[in-house]
Structure 1
Amino acid sequence: MPAPLHSDPIPFITLPNWVKAATVCGFNIEPIFARLGIQTDLLHLEDATISAPVLGQVMEACVAASRTQHFPFVLGETFAFDYLPDIGTFLATAPTLRDATRVFEWVRELINPMIDIRIEESGDRAALTLAGQGTVTGQDRYFVESLFAAVVKFGRMLASEVEAEARLQFRYAPPPYAAAYEAYFRIPVRFGEPRNALEIPRARLDAPLEGGFAKLHAQARVRVEQRLAEMPRRTGLIALLESRFEDRPRLLGESLKTVAAHLCLHPRTLQRRLRDEGETYAGVVDRVRYRLALRALQQADIDLETLSEQIGFSDRRSFTRAFKRWAGVSPSSFRQRREL
């Protein structure tokens, strides 16, 4: 799932998806990557990043190279969570569409904080809405097209009947190829609307899905969150805050005001800037504590009392409660499983 453009470097963990989409569209993407100086290292894909301008150039080059299909549609249609299959399992086993939308939180963390899809509900309608996107350029439009191609794809996978009552809305004017939208999406499409959104009946959000499988769904969530906890952010204020916590773990037990002072920020400024990046202060604290606990529990010589204190908990009992919430098991049980 590609990303609307913004100023920070963007994780390029979706590189294989671009290669696959280019193949479907009948061209080789390797010369484009080579011309733009893009490193293609699948062995360290989780560390790959790309600048927003270069990603835009890749998109434009792919659109120009594709002679049979509209590349952004194909990029969204062929998207899969190849790099983290547990997300695919989480989606496939979701009990409701509302529950499945948890994936958008992970997409913000893994791919781009600007992919901010939120549920808006009014009357008998609900909309999966892309936040922001005031003035949409041609490049941005391609990324919006790809994003909603992926959203519609997964929506059909989870609840095929919902498309009969769905419609798409886009903020921008109809592009020259507007007729291709309804031919591709097979649902009503409107341009010049107040938002970029997929609108569905509100009741569909909480209707049971046939693929619901509670046990596997819960297990997949734990595995995804564990993987995310192990992946520190690389850009923005979140990365700076995580780095400061890792350098000084005891700050995790301090107040937001104290931590903001360490960053030379007003507490409200810290909260606002984190919110702008799609995160909360408590969420960052939780994730770093979880990451440090996972690392420490692989060391046989650290006791839980010491670990609790090191990552800012008042006592072992508080740490154990938090770890059970994160991992679904106690720290002791987690360590025993790792040792097997």
Structure 2
Amino acid sequence: MSSLAPERAIPFVTLPNWVKAAALCGFNIQSVFDELGIHTDLLHLEQATIGSKLLEQVMARCVARSRQRHFPFVLGETFAFEYLPDIETFITTSPTLREAATAFRWVHELINPLIDVRVEEQGEWGRLVLYGAGSATPAQPYFVEALFASVLKFGRLLAPQLERSASLHLRYPPPPHVAVYAECFHLPLHFEAPFNALQLPRASLDAPRPGAIPSLHRQAGQRVAQRIAHLPRHSGLIALVEAQFEQEPHLLGVGILRMARRLNMNPRSLQRRLREEGQAYSELQDRVRYRLALRDLDDRALDLETIAERLGFSDRRSFTRAFLRWAGMTPSRYRAQGG
């Protein structure tokens, strides 16, 4: 599937989920695709992409066609990692909510680069904050609704008592259909908030889960890590920066200024052009570090201190913290499992 618009293309591996949600809302989504000139191809779903603005049009038309249920909520509630079941296994077997939240990074890498959810903590509160989603276009709140409907679906599975202490904070004002929010979320709502976030007691992030299965959790994390390590390379400026990192990994440990000088560019221009291609410099730096870390860990002749130094980390501890965030396990655990 490809976008007819010139804007940034994003993966559309979630196509089956959209089809299912539309059916549950009483309409056939093929009519929407036909109206917008979108060709669907489940046989090559892994390569399917759609323009971000075109996807907004799809969402808006699905909302208009869904008379009895609010489409974004159904889309979120019925979401499943059908194409990437290892991520769902990782989430559902996680020992804690914090550990499960590692999967948001993989969602960003493998499913939708526009989804940027991070764990933040302040005082007694922890938050799952959605970045990059405001209300700049009429359709954007629909994507926020779908995302948090999905987050709550998995949250209830991981922590059945979550709704008793959590609250949802949304940047946009109450929408015309605000009455249906209570039916979906079942928790306090705060509109026109400074962030889009699910807020919960900080202690709940690390509360042990009785449903954790450590062995399956580690195996699922390792499989996802291997998949990310074999992602196809990008083109354009992203590919050029990646090549510089791979040729001289020490550049991973320095700021954008050094890379800009290497490419004879202004740092601001480099950052802007990378974002136009869909990648922030820090994200690109992190992704290459992760890929090279997986490669180096396969070389048993390299100890962790050497790998940390090669990748520009200040010490082994910093490398371990980063790898745990990327893969949901320590480098030692990854290597012990034959990664």
Structure-1-length-normalised TM-score: 0.77
Write out aligned runs for 1:206-217 (5 A).
206-217=206-217
Contact 2:134 / 2:141 at 8 angstroms: preserved in 1?
A: no
How far 1:325 moved relative to its partner?
3.2
Match of 1:328 in 2: 334
How far 1:140 moved relative to its partner?
0.4
Long gaps (5+) in structure 1: 1-5, 298-303, 306-312, 315-320, 335-340
| Ranges of 4+ aligned residues in structure 1 off by more than 6 Å | 290-294
Single out whichever of 47-56 and 106-115 deviates more from structure 2: 106-115
- Cα separation, 1, equivalents of 2:187 and 2:236: 37
Contact 2:127 / 2:200 at 8 angstroms: preserved in 1?
A: yes
Contact 1:129 / 1:196 at 8 angstroms: preserved in 2?
A: yes
How far 1:37 moved relative to its partner?
2.1
Match of 1:286 in 2: 289
Contact 1:25 / 1:69 at 8 angstroms: preserved in 2?
A: yes
Write out aligned runs for 1:115-264 (5 A).
115-232=115-232, 234=234, 238-242=238-242, 244=243, 250-252=247-249, 260-261=260-261, 263-264=263-264
- Cα separation, 2, equivalents of 1:7 and 1:124: 41
How far 1:121 moved relative to its partner?
1.5
- Cα separation, 2, equivalents of 1:201 and 1:265: 45
Contact 1:168 / 1:197 at 8 angstroms: preserved in 2?
A: yes
Aligned length in residues: 307
Long gaps (5+) in structure 2: 1-5, 303-309, 312-319, 324-329
- Cα separation, 1, equivalents of 2:131 and 2:279: 11
Match of 1:337 in 2: none
Of 275, 280, 287, which aligns to 1:277?
A: 280
Structure-2-length-normalised TM-score: 0.78
Contact 1:238 / 1:284 at 8 angstroms: preserved in 2?
A: no
Contact 2:229 / 2:291 at 8 angstroms: preserved in 1?
A: yes
Match of 1:300 in 2: none
Residues 147-206 of structure 1, C-alpha deviation per residue, up to 9 Å, x if partnerless? 111111110111111111111111111111111101221111121111111111111000
Relative to 1, partners in 2 of residues 1:233 and 1:145: Cα closer, same or farther, differing over 3 Å?
Answer: farther
Cα-Cα RMSD: 3.6
Match of 1:59 in 2: 59
- Cα separation, 2, equivalents of 1:64 and 1:157: 30
Match of 2:109 in 1: 109
- Cα separation, 2, equivalents of 1:191 and 1:170: 5
Residues 97-149 of structure 1, C-alpha deviation per residue, up to 9 Å, x if partnerless? 01111011111112333311122222222111112434443200111111111
Residues 205-253 of structure 1, C-alpha deviation per residue, up to 9 Å, x if partnerless? 00001121222111111100101111136578545534x36xx953446
Specify the code of the residue in structure 1 equivalent to 2:10.
Answer: I
